[in-house]
Amino acid sequence: MTDAGAPASRSARPLRTLTALWMGMVCLLFLAFSLDGWFLRTYQSKLLFATMRPELFYAVLTLHGIGMVGLWMAASLAAGNYLLARYVRPPRWASWLALAGTVAGFVVLVEATTEGLFGAGWYFLYPLPMFSQGIWPTWATGGFFASLATLCAVWLIWALATLWAILRQYPLPRALAWPQLAGRSAPAVPPLVLISTVALLLGVAGFLDAFAVFTFYLLQWRVHGFVADALLMKNLTFFFTQMTAYATMYLGVGVVYELLPAFAARSWKTTRVVALAWNAALALALVSYLNHLYMDVVQPHALQVAGQVVSYLSAVPAATVSIFDGLLLVYGARMRWTIASSFLFLGLMGWAVGGVGAVIDSTIAANAVLHNTLWVPAHFHTYYLMGVVLMLLGFASHLGLELSGRAESRLVRRLVLPFFLVGGYGFVLTLFWAGAHSIPRRYAVYPDELARGAFYARFDVVLIGVLLLGIVLFLGETGRHYVTAAVRGLRHRGRS
Ligand code: HEM
């Protein structure tokens, strides 16, 4: 038995091929959706693509937003499943089902956006999808919702199956480390199990909520005279998107808790503070979406105040505890710095930087100025792109080395990190700067009064180019390890 009371560390071997497939797909789609992002910023800069219709910009914006958020949701579940297999038995069928559903969902999404020009944005705010002003046909709206429903259905099943696997081994109070909270000297649950339980509960709540949203759209479409309540729809939609983001983020942090200590030759335990932080994170995350509704003056006042208070409070437990934990883990340790360990650590720090941007934006007085400016994509790109994406790319790199048994190229490591840091932080800082100077988000073409928006975008065209070089280098290096492992596996199978 481990100190966690789990059966001695199980092997994640049965999930190796499947997880490698997931990571291969994730890396390639990441490159594709990043090129979409470069297209968006280049369009705004007016340097290229100026002859294309702006409707295409909004369709690509929708594809990029849903594509990226969905992709990293799935990646975090795949990485979480692989590592959880050290303690519990996540079922493989759920992951296979999710892989098939994710591919099918993305294919329909690409069709609805690029062919159908569906462009209501990644959170498809009610009632926009139903009022296309003739820009996209009804089939594109249907395709978009069919794609989203497929993705949410398979991820819901996957999240439930994983949660079930955890609960079979650790009853809920133990999985949430309540014995530690109560000060009992019961064996501590591994941090990965605790954090994954919190993340999966949030994810399940979000996906169930998504089906309520889809049902209201369906009713309005099919039942004559039925009109959904706009405020309710906004609350439900933001709850869904926020829970998806939290689930992804927390699963990513779980990966860091599980992998980083080995690089520092130290260990991470579920202490009472860690248990308290993640239980608080669970409760606070459920209401923190309220900070997205400050501009909705019909929202009850008490909920607006709660939005600000909870946003402040929610920054403390998970983020602060994990970041201090991360710094303490690395401080004075004989760290083995590889692409994986650097990305895991930098991802944790990027989460903090983006979190600060988010907390500023969640302050009602600041939000009155920053609302729907480029400050918003600036902060979420920071905690996604420079946060959880780095954590999960770190996992992908680690898995590649584990599978191939090879060492990574020192030259590539030295190049990848500066490319990611200069390109990635340069890109998001330009967005922050533009947002702080009142450049609105989601403008395909900036009007003359906002001409400096196009000027800022030009910086990003170059900086995103630097980041893309880093991504290509990373993919080349990591892909090399996956190919080596696949060839070796095929040879082995041929011999036996
Ligand atoms: C190289 C990487 C990336 C680039 C160049 C990029 C670029 C962009 C740009 C230019 C926008 C439009 C900003 C505006 O509103 O004017 C955007 C929006 C967005 N991006 Fe990214 N992005 C990248 C990575 C990511 C990642 C990793 C995620 C999430 C995991 C993400 C999620 C989103 C979302 C949700 C939107 C908002 C879509 C909407 O407004 O409907 N992006 N991105």
Nearest to 4 by CA among 336, 257, 279: 257
DSSP character for 363?
S
Element (H, E) at 61: helix 54-84
DSSP string over 183-233: T--PPPPPHHHHHHHHHHHHHHHHHHHHHHHHHHHHHHHHSTT----HHHH
Report yes or no: 283 and 253 within 8 Å, Cβ to Cβ. no
Look at residues 433, 385, 289 and name the one whose alpha carbon lies nearest to residue 69. 385
The per-residue pLDDT for 8 is 40
Block mean pLDDT (10 aa), the chain, length 496: 42 84 98 98 96 96 98 98 96 97 98 97 94 92 98 98 98 96 88 98 98 97 96 98 97 97 93 93 93 93 92 79 88 96 97 92 92 97 98 98 95 97 98 98 97 98 98 98 92 79
Domains of the chain and any CATH numbers: 13-490 (1.20.210.10)
Residue given tokens 């519990």 in the structure block: 88
Instruction: Quote the ligand 1 centre to 488 CA distance (angstroms).
Output: 37
SS3 440: strand
Q: At what angle do helices 339-361 and 375-383 cross, to 10 degrees?
A: 150
How far does residue 255's CA lie from ligand 1's centre (Å)? 23
pLDDT of 131: 85
Task: Give me the residues paired with residue 440 across strands.
Answer: 373
- 304, 489, 322, 342: which is closest to 424 by C-alpha? 342
Element (H, E) at 17: helix 16-45
CA distance 229 to 226: 10
For ligand 1, atom 43, name the residue with the nearest CA. Answer: 37
| Residue type at 50 in one-letter notation | A
| 268: three-class secondary structure by DSSP | coil
Q: 260 vs 291, 347, 454, CA distance in Å? A: 32, 11, 40
Closest CA to 94 of 150, 161, 148: 161
- Pair 399, 259: CB distance under 8 Å: no
- Could you tell me the distance, in angstroms and rounded to a whole number, from the CA of residue 61 to the centre of ligand 1? 7
The structure tokens listed for 258 are 């599980």
Q: Which of 357, 362, 385 is nearest to 304 (CA)?
A: 362
Q: Which amino acid makes up residue 154? A: V
Query: Within 13 Å of residue 226, how many CA atoms lie on the same side as its CB?
Result: 11
Residue 68 CA to ligand 1 center (angstroms) comes to 8
φ, ψ for residue 440 (rounded to 5)? -70, 155
What pLDDT was estimated at residue 319?
74
Give the position, in ligand 1's atom list, of the atom nearest the Cα of 248.
30
| CA pair distance 27, 473, nearest whole angstrom | 12
Q: Which residue CA neighbors atom 21 of ligand 1 most closely?
A: 37
Q: Taking the C-alpha atoms of 273, 188, 384 and 21 in order, what is their torsion angle to the nearest 10 degrees?
A: 180
Measured by CA distance, the residue closest to atom 37 of ligand 1 is 65
Q: How many CB atoms lie within 10 A of CB 495?
A: 6
Taking the CB of residue 325, how many other CB atoms lie within 10 A of it? 22
Q: Across the chain, which distance is largest between two alpha carbons, in Å? A: 70
Q: What is the rounded CA–CA span in Å between residue 161 and residue 351?
A: 28
By most ligand atoms within 8 Å of CB, the mutation choice from 57, 72, 381 for ligand 1 is 381
Query: What is the pLDDT at residue 2?
Result: 36
3-state SS, 97-138, equals: HHHHHHHHHHHHHHHHHHHCCCCCCCCCCCCHHHCCCCCCCH
Chain center to CA of 487: 31
Please give all residues whose beta carbon lies within 6 A of any atom in ligand 1, as ranges.
Answer: 34, 37-38, 40-41, 61-62, 64-65, 68-69, 72, 121-122, 377, 381, 384-385, 389, 441-442, 464, 467
Ligand 1 binding pocket mutation candidate from 38, 56, 64 (most atoms within 8 A of CB): 64
What do you get for the CA distance between the two ends of the chain, in Å?
A: 34
What per-residue confidence (pLDDT) applies to 11? Answer: 59
Spell out a b/e string for 107-137, using b for 16 or more CB atoms within 10 Å of the CB, else e: ebbbbbbbebbbbbbbbbebeebeebeebbe
Residue whose CB lies within 8 A of the most ligand 1 atoms, among 68, 240, 422, 474, for a mutation test: 68
> Which residues lie across from 496 on neighbouring strands?
none
- Model pLDDT, residue 324: 87
Amino acid at 257: Y
Q: Rounded CA gap, 228 and 288, in Å?
A: 23
- Whether omega for the bond prior to residue 173 falls within 30 degrees of 0, making it cis, is no
